[in-house]
Amino acid sequence: MTAVVEAPKPYPVEKCRSCHKLVIWTQTARGKAMPVDAEPVKGGNVALAWHPDGTTVLSTIPKPHLAFGRRDLHVSHFVQCPDAGKWRRR
C-alpha cells in the first residue's frame, strides 16, 4: 500500500496596496500583523508556518544556526517596500 502525502496548504497571497508586490500577512509571536514578501529569498530571516487551527499564518525568526542553509525563509515586506514608513505602526 502506498502512503498518501498531502501537499502543504499554500499561504494566502495579497498585493501590497503601495508597491503592488505580492505579500503574505502573518502574525508575529507578539500577536502583531506583519507582511512578508511572498517569495522566499536567499538570506531571508522569517520562517512561516500555519497556526494549528489552520486559519492564521505565523511568522518567527529562527536562530541563526537553525536558519543556515534554509531556502524557505522570507523577509519582512517593510525591508523592501518604498512606502513602508507610511504603513508601519509604532
Does 6 have pLDDT greater than 70? no
Report the alpha-carbon angle 12-15-20, nearest 5: 155
The C-alpha cell of 3 is what? 502512503
Question: In this structure, are residues 13 and 37 in contact, taking their beta carbons and an 8 Å threshold?
Answer: no
Nearest CA-CA partner of 56 in 22, 39, 33, 72: 33
pLDDT of residue 43: 86
- Chain segment 25-76, per-residue pLDDT in tens: 999 999 999 999 999 998 899 999 999 988 999 999 998 887 777 888 999 9
Neighbouring C-beta atoms of residue 80, cutoff 10 Å: 14
Q: Which residue is listed with cell 502506498? A: 2
Does 90 have pLDDT greater than 70? no
pLDDT of residue 89: 67
pLDDT of residue 84: 78
pTM summary value: 0.83
Domain ranges for the chain, please list them.
Answer: 14-82
